[in-house]
Structure 1
Amino acid sequence: MKFIRILFLLIIAASLEASAGKLLLPKGATTFYADTDTIIRKRSISVGLNFGSDAMFFGRTGPIRYPFYSADVIYNTKQGFFAYGSVLRLIGYRTSIDEIDIGGGYLYRPSKKFSGSISYTRFIFNKEQRIIESATNNDINFKNAYDWGPFKSTVVMDYLFGRSNDFFITLSQSKYFEPDWRLFSNNDYLTFNPTVSMILGTQNFVHTYSLDHQEGILNPNVIKLDNSAYQYNNGRFNALNYSFKLPIAYNRPHYTFEFAYKYSIPVNVQGSLRNKRESFYNLTFFYLFY
């Protein structure tokens, strides 16, 4: 608990100073869930493939693991506007597509250290609606980030609406670095971007998801209770999750391979899900045409 309190104070202090900070592109858009962010103000098309060991949504997971793979595409304009789409399929199920996301937004960079983006995403699911993200339909995302040099501070705000309404603030501190040496040629390089994050917000989507899946899911991670007290607690604004993530990427001029490890600590888990500490693994490849 002492470590968590210190981490909380450090993130709050740096993030408040970064209110004019640098914005990053939404995950699943230009970066295809990778953490090697490169802002290119050119007309371009990016395509990406991603494998994940479990589906997480704002610090919460379903009652069982849902490994998945996804494909993404985004179109960028010189002016900073972008449109994107992605398809996701869960591994181990006969469904061809479990989720489709479509959206768009605007990327701006008023200074070298400060950049930002605002975007809208629409979530579309098949009738099974297995993953916890299916408890909502729409997301408005607004990011601010500031690169201090030794580290980068990021503040992300999300408003979810549709089947459930929630608001989140994600605070992160990261340190991007790359070695001077090259692996195979002068055009390739490795990058590392360790990040600590904290998610604060409401979790009405957990209540909606539990109501959708109370019947037919028999699992020790699900509490067979649902009452007004749980619903009230889900609507309170609390800390939801602490995490540490270590992405390691191999980069060339047009493409990137990335492996990322993430350790997640859920807190204030309310309602029907009993989320526990969990390790996540992601493999990502994306290619940029311009």
Structure 2
Amino acid sequence: MKQFYLSLIAFFTWVIGMAQSGGDSTRLPLTDSIQAKKSTFTIGAVYANDASYYGQRSDERLPYVALAAAYHHRSGFYLTGMGYRLLNDSARLASAYSLGAGFSFPLGKSFTADLSYDYSIYPKFSPFLQAANPHSVNLTIARESVVDLSISGDYAFGKTNDFFITPQISRDIDLFNIGRNDLVSFNPSLDMTAGTQHFYEYYQEEKGIRDSILGILMPPVLGGSPSEQNPTIKTTNRFEILSYNLKLPVSYNRNHLKLEVSGQFSLLSKQAQSQPGKVNSFFSAAFYYQF
């Protein structure tokens, strides 16, 4: 853990050292609302090698593809929609849906706020870690400067109730131009998430039922009591650090089009219910077009 903290300090120093004044910042089209000063409609497609929930993953790998759309009104109001298809789920056309609405507004010269609500639809016995809580409310306060800072608070509720806090530091870096209208950019970010983990209790219960339906041997058959096989579900109501996440997205931008590949490395804390102390890695590729 000490080496990881030293790595964080080194990363912060590197980001600040790479920061340059001036230049245009290119942001993810689905979340760019205030800067546009006009109404926009964005469509996108995403591939990910696994599903991440605050850097955590389920016991089985969940590679997926997704289609996304977002409408941002120049006032700051926006609507979003997303459909997921797990690549190992042959029984359904879509494995989950998500619909959302929000409002972004300035708090001053450098500060902005974003308040949003999302509702997700998961089928019964869904393998997603977050399937217990289809409702989610988010409030994010961000400050744009040489290095961007933000803090997000999430309240997820449904079958259970969970709270999450995520402070983040990031930096937009323009790497080089291929042509007059082409730009390759890099937007590294570092965040830490703390929260409760009631969702994991529901996930384990649903996983037990799903495994029994699939014919996988349950703990009583294998020997030992369920509590011995799964002793971690005792501290899910505590508010604790869950993960440290380093994200490294590289984007190609041309006019209204954006292509992005991203790697994420997440160090789970010892308090995380899902594989504590492990480093998870995620990879994604996305395409966006804004009208």
1:274 aligns with: 275
Distance 1:53 1:122 in 2: 23
One-letter amino acid of the counterpart of residue 152, structure 1 = D
Q: How far has the Cα of 1:116 moved from its partner?
A: 1.9
Distance 2:39 2:268 in 1: 40
Q: Which residue of 78, 81, 98 corresponds with 2:77?
A: 81
SS at match of 1:234: coil
Distance 1:224 1:66 in 2: 28
SS at match of 2:250: strand
Classify 1:116/1:157 alpha carbon distance in 2 versus 1 (closer, same or farther; 3 Å).
Answer: same
SS at match of 1:211: helix
Instruction: Report the count of equivalent residues.
Output: 261
Distance 2:227 2:64 in 1: 29
C-alpha contact (below 8 Å) 1:43/1:78 kept by paired residues: yes
* Residues 1:284 and 2:286 aligned together: yes
Q: Which residue of 102, 106, 119 corresponds with 2:116?
A: 119
1:129 aligns with: 126
Greater share of helix: 2
C-alpha contact (below 8 Å) 2:264/2:281 kept by paired residues: yes
Q: Which residue of 238, 251, 256 corresponds with 2:258?
A: 256
Stretches (4+) displaced over 6 A: none
When normalised by structure 2's length, the TM-score is 0.82
2:173 aligns with: 177
C-alpha contact (below 8 Å) 2:34/2:74 kept by paired residues: no
Classify 1:93/1:148 alpha carbon distance in 2 versus 1 (closer, same or farther; 3 Å).
Answer: same
Percent identity (aligned): 26
SS at match of 1:82: strand
Q: Which residue of 96, 99, 117 corresponds with 1:99?
A: 96
1:186 aligns with: 180
Unaligned runs of 5+ in 1: 12-26
C-alpha contact (below 8 Å) 1:233/1:270 kept by paired residues: no
Unaligned runs of 5+ in 2: 13-27, 218-223
C-alpha contact (below 8 Å) 2:125/2:210 kept by paired residues: no
Q: How far has the Cα of 1:266 moved from its partner?
A: 1.0
1:2 aligns with: 2
Q: How far has the Cα of 1:58 moved from its partner?
A: 2.1
Classify 1:84/1:226 alpha carbon distance in 2 versus 1 (closer, same or farther; 3 Å).
Answer: farther
Which has the bigger relative contact order, CA under 8 A and spacing at least 6? 1
SS at match of 1:212: helix
When normalised by structure 1's length, the TM-score is 0.82
Distance 1:265 1:37 in 2: 31
- After superposition, the CA RMSD in angstroms is 2.7
Distance 1:232 1:91 in 2: 33
